[in-house]
Chains A and B, each alone.
Chain A
Amino acid sequence: MFVISVIAFAIQDGLGDPLQEMVGMSVSMEEREALREELGLNDSMVVQYLRFAGKAIQGDLGNSYFYGKPTLTVIAEHLPATLELVIGASLIIMLLSVPIGVYAAIRPQAWLAKFFMGVSTVGISIPVFLTAIVLIQIYSIGITVEWFPVDSGWGQWLNGALSTDGGMPSYGRGDDLKHLFGTWNSGFFSELGLMHLVLPCVSLASIMLPLFIRLIRAEMMEVLQSDYIRYARAKGLSSARINFLHALKNTMLPVITVGGVQVGVMVAYTILTETVFQWPGVGLMFLEAITRSDIPLIVAYLMVVGLIFVITNTLVDLVYGLVNPTVKLTGKKA
């Protein structure tokens, strides 16, 4: 965390002058200088860092220039939206990647499996913002296809089948949020909230889904080659039992490790998704903080995201110990 804070602090010089966003064009140089002095921007980097670190140890990461509130409060207000997005995307990934991955491993030659693998290769190479824009065009605005002759029955049918009406919400979280606790207003409990979640979650999931499908497939295929599976087959266990009980369990071990790390990465990817969908989460907030040179907020965001990485990785290690009995946590009795 110390390293993150130093790095975050060091880059601020390259970010430009926060004053430009705070004052109008016609404010005189003297006034600007006075304000700069007031904000402590004229002190040397070391002095600024020590002042920041001193407060940070007491849990005070400073005030955002733009919001005029403590940065942690600002982040707390924006974090729930991002977490919901990540949770939604993770659900989609979990529900789709496991069945598809397993299927592709068991029947690698099947036509459908090849189709899934092909799509996932394409999916992994399309940037997330492009996916998002295409989704908005198709499902929010709607497209009208007139490629086929309108006067023939089949042409009309094809046109109709390829056209969409749109109507899905394309920005924000909607009006119908339910208050859970603290700063958390959730979109999971109303139809409108869920509708708003669909497109952003799908586009966020699109970048990770292919990765997980391929990972699960590869792991599963490797496990299926191993000796204990062959013994199980020889023993005459049903193939369903072998595949889903014995093989899947071992397949999931590395997947959990990767998954844990990827949740952190996903928080980073939300920056793109949130920008396209105007999703009021921390990613969008961070991007705007950069354009405004809102340095305290940038530093605080980097520290919070760093913390999330540390926590998820620790959790993954702990969960791993539970799933895999061969891993022993030091200090625990054998």
Chain B
Amino acid sequence: MKKLLAAFIGSLALASAPVALSAEATKELKMAYDADPVTLDIHEQLSGGILQLSHMSFDPLVRWTKDLDFEPRLAESWERVDENTMRFKLREGVKFHSGNELTTKDVKFTYDRLKESQDFKAIFKPFSGINIIDDYTFELVTSEPFPLLLNTATYIFPLDSEFYSGETEDGKMKGAILKHGNSFASGNLSGTGPYKVTSRQQGVRMEFERFANYWDEESPGNVKKIVLTPIKENNTRVSALLSGGVDFIAPVPPTDLDRIKRDKNSELVTMSGTRIILFHMNQDRVEAFKNPKVRQAVAYAINQEGIAAKIMKGFATPAAQLSPAGYQGYNESLKPRYDVKKAQQLMKEAGYEDGFTITMMAPNNRYVNDDKIAQAAAAMLARINIKVDLKTLPKAQYWPEFDNRSGDMMLIGWHADTEDSANFYEFLTFCTEAGSGAGQYNAGNYCNPEIDALVAKASVETDIAKRTAMLQEVEQRLYDDAAFIPLHWQDLAWASKKNVKIEPILNVMNFPYLGDLVVE
């Protein structure tokens, strides 16, 4: 009897230990996004949804703060050893969901896997290797001085190497990254993050539970269970919040902002985003676009502020450059230059007073109000006698057209994966070069080797002040040259019930840090 009692008390003590830890986390959160993560393998696809999942179930080495600074997470500290090497100290005593402990071998495993991943390998191209010093110290080595090393480290979410190694029962590699088809990693996950995935029915619902042994004991988060339902239809998502079916929704469609503001039980948070929307003017297709005066005329004819106010209902920040505020390349002096008189004058000087006809293409379900923006732009161009033949397409059909550059003016939105200005230029304004991927989305075929050289120089400059000056010069020159027509940065919006304090955990990258969410 005594033995039994002792055993009973013993088990009670054991059982109560994790309970005591997670005692504060008691709340349940129901949330609705427009889509659920495509896969549980965070290296399978580079997309907003996957990164949101990464921040729930994994932790990065460092992460962005609200004002675009770095905050140590799994990496406790870091220091530059030499120009090409950064040494990181890993946090000790961090546990994975599986119970394994995090060491540098997991970081190495993750790094190697990222180098393999089709979607991520481009970001990790500057890295030449990883040196393991001991269990908790490692170095990341780049082939050239790399100013964006920490930016890139926000993409390293260490995976549980033991969990993802070996073979499944039917003999498949557990660590394999499979774009299509079912891999072990696309259905199972073990990270260090605040939430474990407890059940998942793709496209229907996903359940998370707070990880009892989560390392970050200072996190104020008190949510024990999260139920994520994808609700694609904008109206339904908003209705679900207003009717109390869910506690937190994102994104909020611009047409419903007022409706949520009026509702006394809901709270709306908006932020100026970092995704730039712009038009390219294809110089290979239209002779006139080779003339900088014509390009400037187009730039003067488009009323960015009008589009942001009327079509986007104030839900966008008018842009005159690619880099949003907070990025190194952001040049404060550049302002939208709407002036029809000036535009007409420039057309006259260029010898195109009578105008010409062009084709324009835009997606109609990719960005907020994309088709309406294109219509408005077409109408604005009519005032300088450029007749526009507009075609809008669903995104699945638009991108193949975009890859073929089959419109004279084409709309695109771009978010810099690295949260850095250089990424914009490399993809959107660099001279197109098939092999290297430079200028892959430069549908204007604009090409200025001088600017490209300047960006390349900035890309190996580790002195922030110097680099900032270079990147701002790039923006200025692109502006003077009217290399493209920037429109606006799309704003972001989230909404929740009043008792769900989402404001502190949101950021412009749109990775809500749900681990730190407080529900009252």
| Residues of A in contact with B (beta carbons under 8 Å apart) | 14-18, 20-29, 31, 35, 39, 63, 65-69, 77, 133, 136-137, 140-142, 166-172, 275-278, 280, 284-285, 288, 291-293
Contacts and interface: CB of A to CB of B under 8 A. Distances in A.
Interface string B245-279: 10000000000000000000000000000000000
A25 B441 contact: yes
Contacts of B236: 136, 170-171, 275-278
B505 interface: no
Given A23-B45, A66-B38, A16 B399 contact: yes
A278 B203 CA distance: 10
B396 A21 contact: yes
Given A68-B180, A170-B243, A291-B395, 10 more contacts: A26-B46, A68-B183, A68-B186, A133-B239, A169-B245, A171-B231, A276-B235, A278-B233, A278-B236, A284-B203
B202 interface: yes
B242 A35 contact: no
A246 B258 CA distance: 59
A171 B437 CA distance: 43
B362 to A, nearest CB: 15
A276 B233 contact: yes
B406 interface: no
B333 interface: no
Interface in B107-123: 118-119, 122-123
5 contacts: A26-B427, A29-B437, A63-B181, A136-B239, A291-B395
A331 B434 CA distance: 70
B182 A69 contact: yes
A24 B233 contact: no
Contacts of A170: 236, 239-240, 243, 245
Interface in B199-248: 201-205, 229-233, 235-236, 239-240, 242-245
Contact of A278 (B123, B231, B427, B440): B231
Interface residues on B, range: 35 or more
Nearest to B118: A31
Given A29-B434, A69-B182, A20 B45 contact: no
B186 A288 contact: no
Contacts of A168: 243
A14 B401 CA distance: 12
Contacts of B180: 22, 39, 63, 65, 68
Interface in B154-187: 178-183, 186
A140 B245 contact: yes
B47 interface: yes
Interface in B339-383: 365
A43 B202 CA distance: 30
Contacts of A278: 229-233, 236, 240
B417 interface: yes
A168 B46 CA distance: 37
Contact of B229 (A14, A21, A68, A172): A172
Nearest to B123: A26
A27 B204 CA distance: 28
Contacts of B205: 172, 280
Contact of A291 (B235, B243, B396): B396
Given A63-B180, A63-B181, A140-B239, A35 B118 contact: yes
Interface string B384-403: 00000000001111111001
B396 A15 contact: yes
Contacts of B46: 24-27
A68 B180 CA distance: 5
Contact of A171 (B38, B239, B414): B239
